[in-house]
Chains A and B, each alone.
Chain A
Amino acid sequence: MSHHPLHAAEAAKDDETYGRLEEAHGIEARRIGGTLMEMKNITLRFGGVVAIKDISFDIREGEIRAIIGPNGAGKSSMLNVISGFYNPQEGEVWFRGEKRPAMRPYQVAQLGIARTFQNIALFDGMSVLDNIMTGRITHMKSGLFRQALWYGQAEAEEVRNREQVEKIIDFLEIQSIRKTPVGRLPYGLKKRVELARALAAEPKLLLLDEPMAGMNVEEKEDMSRFILDVNDEFGTTIALIEHDMGVVMDLSDRVVVMDYGKKIGDGTPAEVRRNQAVIDAYLGVAHD
């Protein structure tokens, strides 16, 4: 990931990697603000199975927060709790200083929380452009009547939506496929279109469920670059789940580590790496 200035610097430090949080204060003025989201003592059960057990952590404004853990650790469940696809039995979700009541996923999306899916959920029958336009749905406010007559607010709105979508298409370098039906795209590009759709919502919090799963090295590098750029240029707060340890350590400011539904570590990548519980559970006990 040497494309990114931050990572050139980070790579130079090699072993003693600090999280981007500390580094950012020195090199770039990335603004990491106060708490955007706080999960308080979340417990999620499916019948008798406890998927998440009493987990608390926070997400700060402007940061890249990773949730990692071995298979079945409950990472995806946690993302589904944040995005409203699951409602936890116990615990509280606080967003922008307010306690969030139990919500349906579309209501969560309307709050400004956008997400992608591990196994890609795109509208296969629509073009890339139309897919990304659906991401703007929460920003379309004018009534049906005005839309039908295409005047005033409706027109201004449509123009603004188009502009935003074009900006994102440029940003993610998918101009050449904008008219292509999504069903025909290769895997890596589909993932990128899904990211574009989530970004189109101008989310306050962007949730990425294994954004690099199933990608080759080149695609992974592209995707990491896009994630960092999104965070840098739009200042978007990002929470992501990822399997690839290397990727996570390079990308994120802070990491939550889960295992068997419990939180076993939380901190900068460097801290997490030194955490014995994490090493044992996730990386396996070192033998060298």
Chain B
Amino acid sequence: MPTEFLYGVEVVLNGLMAGVLYALVALGFVLIFKASGIFNYSQGVMALFAALTLVGIMDGQVPFAHLINATFGTEIHHFGWHVPALLAILLTTVVMVAFAWLVQRFIFRHLVGQEPIILFMATIGLAYFLEGVGDLMWGSDIKTLDVGLPQGASLWIEENTAFLGGEGFFGFFIDRLDVVAAIVAAVLVAGLVAFSQYTKQGRAMRAVADDHQAALSVGISLNFIWVLVWSLAGFVALVAGIMWGAKSGVQFSLSLIALKALPVLMLGGFTSIPGAIVGGLIIGVGEKLFEFLIGPMVGGATENWFAYVLALIFLVFRPQGLFGEKIIERV
């Protein structure tokens, strides 16, 4: 096989892996949007906050340490223990559930029936608030997140694919973390699908996504379901935060990956879970391949804008996305 072609395949594979991470973030958006019609701008910040909390708990950091020290003149920063990764993930999940409950109790419960733009503005406010709270709780320095996930190129894959090419080809270069991320994302999606198809709460969630009034009439509490979807979105944010955090450190820019999720949603449709996955993969592969093929001709750095241009094209020709519900206005 020609080496050029094999490099192309490698680019596609790496694109798929990156796409999985986009899909993870987009998934959080879809969950909340489907069930409550709220476009949650703070999804990216939730991922950041979850990752910060996870690192903080693992390192035994004292939350609000700066605030406490400044107020009482103390000098405490650490509890002096280290929490194992799995337990810390569990505790962070609890924090995200509590966050979901607070958001529902103090914000969206009071905004039921409001215009979508008002709900959207509320989530923008929430995003900045959460960002501030994150800083205040855990400090604003860049942190490394190590939950024991494998890192670096997989030698196994390299060695076992080297035979495909000729002289100059040394096998596919694939980050092991990306492979793990792909597997985790697949398990997460399978779990979510099973949950929504086969459990009472999942059925109730689908019912609420479909019709609020009908859901009420069969005995479903909307409040409960909304707390549930915010919790799920919080958990998805945590997973996304772990993957991105392990890849590039836990820092403010993590919350900006949410912006990459927007074109993913344009492609996949705002209401479709499979859409979020497929959209994420298309964007991931598309931008890597575009950079590989066209990039050199235009001076590179196409990854910064490719996704948005693709989203724009979709907005013009297929505004509901690949899988979204078609909007038909009756006159």
Which residues of A does B touch, CB under 8 Å? 83, 85, 104-107, 109-110, 114-115, 117, 121-126, 130, 133-135, 137-138, 140, 142, 144, 147-148, 197-198, 201
Complexed CA–CA distance, A197 and B220 (Å): 14
Q: How many A-B residue pairs have CB under 8 A?
A: 79
CB distance from A168 to the nearest CB of B (A): 14
Complexed CA–CA distance, A232 and B219 (Å): 25
Q: Which residues of A lie under 8 Å from residue B216 when comparing CB positions? A: 85, 104-106, 109
Q: Which residues of B lie under 8 Å from residue A106 when comparing CB positions? A: 215-216, 219-222
Within 8 A of A (CB), among B166-219: 198-201, 203-204, 206-207, 209-211, 213-219
**How many B residues face the partner with a CB closer than 8 A?**
21
Residue from B211, B215, B218 having most chain A Cβ neighbours under 10 A: B218
Contact of A123 among B199, B200, B207, B219 (CB under 8 A): B207
Q: List 5 A-B contacts (CB under 8 A).
A: A106-B216, A106-B220, A107-B219, A121-B217, A125-B206
Q: B38-76: contact bitstring with A at CB < 8 Å (1 yes, 0 no)?
A: 000000000000000000000000000000000000000
Complexed CA–CA distance, A134 and B221 (Å): 13
Q: Which residues of A lie under 8 Å from residue B199 when comparing CB positions? A: 144, 147-148
Contact of B203 among A85, A125, A134, A148 (CB under 8 A): A134
CB distance from B112 to the nearest CB of A (A): 12
Q: Which residues of A lie under 8 Å from residue B218 when comparing CB positions? A: 109, 114, 134-135, 137-138, 197, 201
Q: Which residues of A lie under 8 Å from residue B209 when comparing CB positions? A: 125
Q: Which residues of A lie under 8 Å from residue B215 when comparing CB positions? A: 106, 123, 134
**Are B214 and A138 in touch, CB under 8 angstroms?**
no
Q: Given A106-B222, A122-B211, A124-B211, are A137 and B217 neighbors across the interface (CB < 8 Å)? A: no
CB distance from B303 to the nearest CB of A (A): 35
**Are A137 and B210 in touch, CB under 8 angstroms?**
no
Which residues of B does A touch, CB under 8 Å? 198-201, 203-204, 206-207, 209-211, 213-222
Residue from A115, A122, A137 having most chain B Cβ neighbours under 10 A: A137
Q: Which residues of A lie under 8 Å from residue B204 when comparing CB positions? A: 134, 137
Q: Given A123-B210, A137-B203, are A147 and B217 neighbors across the interface (CB < 8 Å)? A: no
**Are B219 and A126 in touch, CB under 8 angstroms?**
no
Closest-by-CB residue of B relative to A194 is B214
Complexed CA–CA distance, A114 and B213 (Å): 12
Complexed CA–CA distance, A133 and B198 (Å): 11
List the 4 shortest-distance A-B pairs measured between CB atoms, nearest first.
Answer: A109-B219, A121-B214, A123-B210, A140-B200
CB distance from B213 to the nearest CB of A (A): 5
Closest-by-CB residue of A relative to B213 is A121
Complexed CA–CA distance, A105 and B204 (Å): 15
**Are A105 and B217 in touch, CB under 8 angstroms?**
yes
**Are B206 and A117 in touch, CB under 8 angstroms?**
no
**Are A147 and B200 in touch, CB under 8 angstroms?**
yes
Q: Which residues of B lie under 8 Å from residue A125 when comparing CB positions? A: 206, 209-210
Complexed CA–CA distance, A41 and B315 (Å): 56
Q: Given A106-B222, A109-B219, are A123 and B214 neighbors across the interface (CB < 8 Å)? A: yes
- Given A125-B210, A198-B217, output 14 extra A-B contacts at Cβ < 8 Å: A106-B215, A106-B216, A107-B219, A109-B219, A114-B218, A117-B213, A117-B217, A121-B211, A122-B214, A124-B211, A126-B210, A134-B218, A137-B204, A137-B220
**Are B206 and A137 in touch, CB under 8 angstroms?**
no
Complexed CA–CA distance, A89 and B135 (Å): 47
Q: Which residues of A lie under 8 Å from residue B207 when comparing CB positions? A: 123, 126, 134, 137
**Are A83 and B206 in touch, CB under 8 angstroms?**
no
**Are A201 and B219 in touch, CB under 8 angstroms?**
yes
Q: Which residues of A lie under 8 Å from residue B200 when comparing CB positions? A: 137, 140, 142, 144, 147
Closest-by-CB residue of A relative to B210 is A123
CB distance from A224 to the nearest CB of B (A): 22
Q: Given A110-B219, A197-B218, are A126 and B213 neighbors across the interface (CB < 8 Å)? A: no
Closest-by-CB residue of A relative to B216 is A105
Closest-by-CB residue of A relative to B224 is A106
**Are A133 and B214 in touch, CB under 8 angstroms?**
no
Closest-by-CB residue of B relative to A109 is B219
CB distance from A130 to the nearest CB of B (A): 7
Q: Which residues of B lie under 8 Å from residue A85 when comparing CB positions? A: 216
CB distance from A101 to the nearest CB of B (A): 16
Complexed CA–CA distance, A260 and B198 (Å): 47
Complexed CA–CA distance, A97 and B217 (Å): 22
CB distance from B325 to the nearest CB of A (A): 8
CB distance from A62 to the nearest CB of B (A): 22
CB distance from B37 to the nearest CB of A (A): 14
